[in-house]
Each structure stands twice: as C-alpha cells, then as structure tokens.
Amino acid sequence: MKRREYLKTSAAVAGYTLLFGGAVASIKACKVDPTLNWTPAFLTTEEALLVSDISERIIPKTDTPGAKDAMVDRFVDVNIADNFTSEQQELFRSDLVAFDEKAKSGYNNKFIDLKPEEQDQVLQLLADQAKELKGDRAHIFNVLKDMTVFGFFTSKVGAMACLKYDAIPGDYQGCIDYSEVNGVWAF
C-alpha cells in the first residue's frame, strides 16, 4: 500500500512540475529579448533591430516569407555601408530617429516595442509625411521602403516565393502579350 501511494504522489508531482514548468516557460517566451545573430557593418545593434522591424512591417510574413526571412535588414546594412557616402550615412542615421519620434509622440514607446498594428499606424503617418515632402532630399520612409522591396525581391527567398522562378529559362521571346506570361518573372 505504501508503494502505491508513493507512485501516485510521484506521478502527481511530476505532472504538476511539467504543467507549471511549461506555463512558466511559455510566459517567459511572451516577451522575447531582441538580439541580432549577425554583426552589422554600419548600423548599431539597436538601429539594425529597428530596420529589421520596419522592413518586416513593410513586407510582413504571411503565407509567403517576410522581409526578416529574406534578411533584408542585412541587405540594408551592407548597402548603406558600401554604397552611401559618409554624408548620406550620417543623414540616414539621423533620419532613422523619425520612427522612434513618431512612435513616442503617438504611443509613448519606441517603435520596436509597439504592437504590429501600432507600428503600421506609425509607418502610415511617415508614408503620408513622405508624400507631402518636396525637394531633393528623399524621406527616410521612402528610402527604407525602396531598399526593403529591392532587397526582398532580389533575395533568393523573395524571388522563389513571390515571383515565378525558372532556374533555366527557355528561349527568348521578344514582344509577347503580358497576359501570356501570367506575372513577373525572376531570373
């Protein structure tokens, strides 16, 4: 009889441990500490996380991969490091602050700490602001949007998931009707 009671008690303790241990682990998993698993060439870690979140809201993951899956943040970082002049780099860095300023003015929080819906609203405010901007200087929203779209669709992930892809294209056909090709092709 003592052995049977011991087994019941042991099973109950093991069950409670698994149940509550899993609950504690899932509660801790709700708030993920954002970290990078790569070293940026130009951006700081905080800026790279911000660019990553912005690009993911521009091309979010749905039934197709998102910008994070295509590592667009890395593309943006290398593009700025390799192709921007030092003036353009500093201008980009100072303009990147606009995302956090809009987020703080509307939601009293940094952009990366906002809910996705709130991030979308901040992006919409900046997109509207970019439409109204006149002059030679490009708005930071347009710069990031253009780099995100270009980086995504020229990546292997973006090209293979969202564009028609044929590793070995057929013969060249010059002027054909667009309706015959049924979409945009990646080469």
pLDDT truncated to tens, each residue of the chain (187 aa)? 454 554 445 444 444 444 444 444 444 444 445 678 999 999 999 999 999 999 999 999 999 999 999 999 999 999 999 999 999 999 999 999 998 999 999 999 999 999 999 999 999 999 999 998 887 888 999 999 999 999 999 999 998 888 877 777 677 777 888 788 777 777 6
pTM beyond 0.75, yes or no: no
Could you tell me if 137 and 118 are in contact, meaning their C-beta atoms sit under 8 angstroms apart?
no
Tell me how far apart the alpha carbons of residues 75 and 96 are, in angstroms, rounded to a whole number: 16
Place of tokens 């564009």: 163
Whether the CA torsion 178, 180, 181, 184 is positive or negative: it is positive
